[in-house]
Structure 1
């Protein structure tokens, strides 16, 4: 006779699945989480890992809500804010796919576009601040990095307007435009001292084992980012995902660059700490504008763009561009002398349009020199967002 085993039932937790920009994630209201997961720690991480379907040695996240890419292995927690002049607090978790690890070290710029619409739909924004028709400005406190984001959310007939004709390369269908303003985007990272350029230089020389000495712009803006030149690595900047992600040696080189850049930026104390901080910093390579065929088969002409940028997230070349890295690109482009600015042709500029694997993106930023230090008051870009599904997510007890 088989011995009977008692299993606990699944937990049922209110959740919403949203697309924001070129990413997707599972969104929770803080108060809807089980009590032990309302605070940072093991219980919260374990819950989100199980929701998303990680760690998965198969790399597919079949038994969870994740989509087996860095762009779709994400969780967001939103709460009404007690902070003055803010509507909601927004916390982002980048869930590793094959490891039992949630990285809380940075923001997701793409999902930032979905926070305002979610907050309004979830009743977390004071109705007096939400027009029946027009644009609601949702004041978001980004809790991972301690920064303010303003989301301009279109409203129609008392509801968030999600449909529209705004097209975003990397997203198949058009939707309503959500304008984002990242206020004072130079990230205050531990060890970085809050400086936009933690080394004090616009361009550094980075000695990378197995690669040699690379010129690099190390910047804290939107998210800590390491920019290097495509040509120095044998690339031309028109590469699509398979060219990098199908090359284990290339991925190892980029991870080595990332680790040594993180050390130089003061984000880690030793090289072996880099593996525990996968979400930040990002590493990207830049090149002068050139024509290429995007991943959708569209011809992008050199005249459409100011420069080419390819960026890696969670160890793989991103299919489009992380929103936070776009903030870093816009900020660096606005400061004469950075590798990003030089690739765009140099000089002063308040906006830049760059080519990424899925197409193009425009980001604006205005830099001013104050007492010998560069400062950017805000960076701005347009994304879109849409609720894909709402209800309850089930998690084995």
Structure 2
């Protein structure tokens, strides 16, 4: 039986958007975990409490959902004209695996705040009252993000009256700008088409928009899957056959998008691509009991993350939704009524969200210049996490 005592590591538990995770300053991590590799992964898995065959995260900081099994590492930026490097790890719940392939748009809203109060931003840039624009280098996907963090009396303002569907209490709004949000270095539409026929053996052939913006995402029509687009979590997550079908479709989309070279690799790339389905606007009652009317939305969207229907919407997937909506002819755009637009209001299981996006056609290829959304963030707890000293 192990008798190695626990070690303690400075950490902050934060909510960002509709997610929450454990935040670390890179220099606070043990030396072996300050570089990418097995030691870092083992340490973060133990912090979260994964792998947990019970699926509860009882012995860790995770919340046993994709939205709450997250880790963030920040450091002073290595990039010119940026303040911080932001590295995101999506921790699997029942497997010893951390996916470093994408970003978390929701937790991005907390990155600016953490950077300010942890001393990663020059104090001279923080006004007594006003806003600090934190220039974030998203290290997973190598993109720039700007977080507009409100400051009151020289400190980050966390409380306020901004309401975000999927979050219980109001808080201060943080505007987040995803600059040039096409994910990675390839084309925004990796197949070269706005809509493809995605053939999935033994399941069917589906119209699909496959886009790299915010995070690689495949959009399908809800009707083609037998859904209305107004489903809440239990309708999908309580159906193992449906989840298995979505995962198979997602794997074939990953292959078609060039994200993997063979289908088997999809199992170790659970964070990307995301899979979502869209439908023309319909009224429904959200998970909180809120009535969502036709006047509230342009389109209904439901998205899966880490194999389960998300309770609201991933921030990065919201970027993909906004970008796709701005481009005439995509499935998202068509479901929203077609035509040109620079913003879209979509319905998700917890309510609604508005995303602004700009896209333009350059030399025959679509490119996105930025996507903007309002989120909120706050510190839930700060101090130390403890893990057994032989855990990594």
TM range (shorter): over 0.9
| Superposed CA offset, 1:22-55 (max 9, x none) | 0000000000000000000000000000000000
Paired residue for 1:13, among 4, 9, 12?
9
CA distance in 1, matches of 2:2, 2:53: 27
Q: Is 1:370 matched up with 2:366?
A: no
Unaligned runs of 5+ in 1: none
Counterpart of 2:282 in 1: which secondary structure?
A: coil
Look up the match of 1:359: 351
Look up the match of 1:139: 135
Paired residue for 2:225, among 226, 233, 244?
233
- Count of residue correspondences: 389
Q: Is 1:43 matched up with 2:35?
A: no
Q: Is 1:348 matched up with 2:344?
A: no
| Superposed CA offset, 1:364-396 (max 9, x none) | 101111111111110000000000000000011
Counterpart of 1:340 in 2: which secondary structure?
A: helix
Look up the match of 2:50: 54
8 Å Cα contact 1:138-1:150 kept in structure 2: yes
1:1-397 to 2 correspondences below 5 Å: 7-188=3-184, 194-397=186-389
Counterpart of 1:123 in 2: which secondary structure?
A: coil
State the shift of 1:261 in Å.
Answer: 0.3
State the shift of 1:209 in Å.
Answer: 2.1
Counterpart of 1:153 in 2: which secondary structure?
A: strand
Indicate the larger mover: 120-129 or 91-100: 120-129
Provide the TM-score with structure 2 as the length reference.
0.98
Counterpart of 1:197 in 2: which secondary structure?
A: coil
Provide the TM-score with structure 1 as the length reference.
0.97
Counterpart of 2:145 in 1: which secondary structure?
A: strand
CA distance in 2, matches of 1:104, 1:238: 31
Q: Which runs of 4+ in 1 moved over 2 A?
A: none
Counterpart of 2:131 in 1: which secondary structure?
A: strand
State the shift of 1:352 in Å.
Answer: 0.1
8 Å Cα contact 1:209-1:256 kept in structure 2: no
CA distance in 1, matches of 2:201, 2:345: 33
Distance 1:159 1:8, change over 3 A: same
Root-mean-square deviation (Å): 0.7
State the shift of 1:6 in Å.
Answer: 6.6
CA distance in 1, matches of 2:161, 2:244: 40
CA distance in 2, matches of 1:74, 1:382: 21
CA distance in 1, matches of 2:2, 2:17: 43
CA distance in 2, matches of 1:40, 1:242: 37
